Structure 1
Amino acid sequence: MRNIIEFRWTANTGPYRKLFPALDAATDDQIIVYADDDAIYRENWLSLLISKFREHNEEKIVASRIRIRKRNLFGHHKTYMLWPIAKKEVELDSDYLITGVGGAILKKNHIKEEFRKNQDYLTVCPKCDDLWISEIIARSKTPVLSCPEAMREILTINHEHGLENQNTLTSHSLARQALNKVKINTFGRLGIPTCNNDVSFKRVKSYFNEIEKTALGTVRVDKQVS
């Protein structure tokens, strides 16, 4: 019987180990699919992602569960807790968040090499891989396409040790839920961080903006010297 599964041990980089080792090992023509390990994926989930990916000539990253980043009247991003999930097929090039639980399909060249090799996520946002991955995809200028029909093929596993509990405002207490709702609809709408995802989002944006600013400054200096 032909072997169709190969297991490879990788360094424990937290949630990042589900994608970056594959990016490093894959060839340019290989298809990569990644997903979280705390969900059950039904039999049609993968075929839906692959069909949509091939329908668009493998030129766009396809993900089943994407949040749309929303801004307030002042142009600031609202809290992550107010970013809605895309319910229809939509193509995006910015202001989105691919959530790993929905899974995504891509190729190595969809993410620029400079981002594939950068491991600063270990210090910038070690537990918020969705934010970092979405940011480097957007900065690689690769379009992202939502495939919401694949979401119906996913069963999430609720447990107390998941990153969702650490990164978002979740609680089983009715009193705590009411307090969280007030925080989300006051501070969160103003762009004030209300959960760890908000803090990490600001750190990721700040990190890449600083790199971009430094690169532009270097280019200007080089031009002046020449």
Structure 2
Amino acid sequence: MGRHAGSSKLARKVRKYRTRLQRKYLLLKYALVNRFGTRRVVAEGGPVVSLTSYSTRLRRVHITLESIAAGALLPSRLILWVDEEPVLADLPAPLRRLQARGLEVKRCNNYGPHKKYFPYVQGERIGAPLVTADDDVLYPQTWLAGLQAAHERTPDQVVCYKAKQVGIEDGVIQPYHGWMTQLDKAPSLRNFAIGVSGVLYPAALQEVLRREGDAFVPVTPKADDIWLHWHALRSGVRIRQISDTDEHFLSVPGTQDIALYSANLKQGGNDLVIAKLYAAEDIAAMLKD
């Protein structure tokens, strides 16, 4: 093994070790904050943050919620959507503690991953920008402030930390797994926001989603990102990644939804949905932009 290869391997080991230490520190920190903290998790002026969780993941979603509540900018509302009646009747103690500090835990029907935005646009007053989050991510302190600042610069656009560019060759959309990542900050109808790192949706697009109702159920029940991009595209709303490199945040161990990832990506579920939704006019609009 050459000297360069050896040093690269050592550097990777050091990075992995530092990542593990950072994750352990944050897990302990947020567990302690949840147990003993009194700071409100919401404040006037921020966007609404909405997410969902289910099953055993509900036992650890408070860690993600605490990471959001530790941000430099707090949400004006922090909403957790739950469809399981037994859970709502007897919430885990960490979620009850968060409720006392301003978290809203609200009931919804089981719309799969669409629960993170759909119950909000259907039943709540639309006005503030809406940020969706995943329930298994440790969001950094600058996370929400970064999205809000980007929104203020381009209030009519969807802004996000991680995006792909829809791959099109010879007028045909290419398989999802091959779409380009590492985009720049230029907005485009062809950009496709990835929900895991956080996405901000302006009020105008929320209104579009409200009007569409639950039409996603027979078409794309397990792939909310596709439905959201398609409506942004059809509404002429461009999507912008807010930095020149896509952001990968730390995850909460033991909570990743491997089954959904496999069905949507590895088994080609995303490609089947895309084939149903995107018409020639959609492809033409993306290529023209």
TM over 0.5: same fold? yes
Alignment check: 8 A CA contact 2:165 2:183 kept: no
Q: Which of 204, 222, 225 is residue 109 of structure 1 equivalent to?
A: 204
Residues 149/116 of structure 1: CA separation in 2 closer, same or farther (3 Å cut): farther
Distance 1:113 1:77 in 2: 24
Alignment check: 8 A CA contact 1:60 1:143 kept: yes
Deviation at 1:39, TM superposition (A): 2.4
Residues 34/49 of structure 1: CA separation in 2 closer, same or farther (3 Å cut): same
Give the secondary structure class of the aligned counterpart of 1:7: strand
Give the secondary structure class of the aligned counterpart of 2:221: coil
Deviation at 1:119, TM superposition (A): 1.2
Give the secondary structure class of the aligned counterpart of 2:104: coil
Residues 89/159 of structure 1: CA separation in 2 closer, same or farther (3 Å cut): same
Distance 2:173 2:121 in 1: 30
1:154 aligns with 2:249: yes
Once the two structures are superposed, what CA deviation does each residue of 1:82-132 show, in whole Å capped at 9, x if it has no partner?
Answer: 101243211012x33211112111233224537643312111111111101
Q: Which of 114, 119, 140 is residue 235 of structure 2 equivalent to?
A: 140
Once the two structures are superposed, what CA deviation does each residue of 1:38-67 show, in whole Å capped at 9, x if it has no partner?
Answer: 3221221111111111122x2222111111
Larger relative contact order (CA 8 Å, sep ≥ 6): 1
Once the two structures are superposed, what CA deviation does each residue of 1:23-43 show, in whole Å capped at 9, x if it has no partner?
Answer: 224434312110222322122
How do residues 14-93 of structure 1 correspond to structure 2 at under 5 angstroms?
A: 14-56=112-154, 58-72=155-169, 74-93=170-189
Aligned letter for 1:197? N
Match of 2:264 in 1: 167
Give the secondary structure class of the aligned counterpart of 1:91: coil
Distance 1:149 1:26 in 2: 34
Match of 1:122 in 2: 217
Distance 1:196 1:44 in 2: 33
Alignment check: 8 A CA contact 2:132 2:198 kept: yes
Alignment check: 8 A CA contact 1:42 1:153 kept: no
Give the secondary structure class of the aligned counterpart of 1:8: strand
Moved more, 144-153 or 115-124: 144-153
Deviation at 1:162, TM superposition (A): 4.4
Aligned letter for 1:67? K
Aligned letter for 2:238? P
Structure 1 residue ranges without an equivalent (≥5): 170-193, 210-226
Structure 2 residue ranges without an equivalent (≥5): 1-37, 41-100, 283-289
Alignment check: 8 A CA contact 2:160 2:240 kept: yes
Deviation at 1:69, TM superposition (A): 0.8
Deviation at 1:155, TM superposition (A): 1.9
Alignment check: 8 A CA contact 2:183 2:245 kept: no
Residues 27/112 of structure 1: CA separation in 2 closer, same or farther (3 Å cut): closer
Distance 1:108 1:28 in 2: 6
Residues 81/97 of structure 1: CA separation in 2 closer, same or farther (3 Å cut): same
Once the two structures are superposed, what CA deviation does each residue of 1:152-198 show, in whole Å capped at 9, x if it has no partner?
Answer: 361245746342122112xxxxxxxxxxxxxxxxxxxxxxxx71111
How do residues 206-225 of structure 1 correspond to structure 2 at under 5 angstroms?
A: none
1:197 aligns with 2:248: no
Moved more, 130-139 or 145-154: 145-154
Residues 197/156 of structure 1: CA separation in 2 closer, same or farther (3 Å cut): farther
Aligned letter for 1:70? G
Alignment check: 8 A CA contact 2:163 2:246 kept: no
Alignment check: 8 A CA contact 1:89 1:148 kept: yes
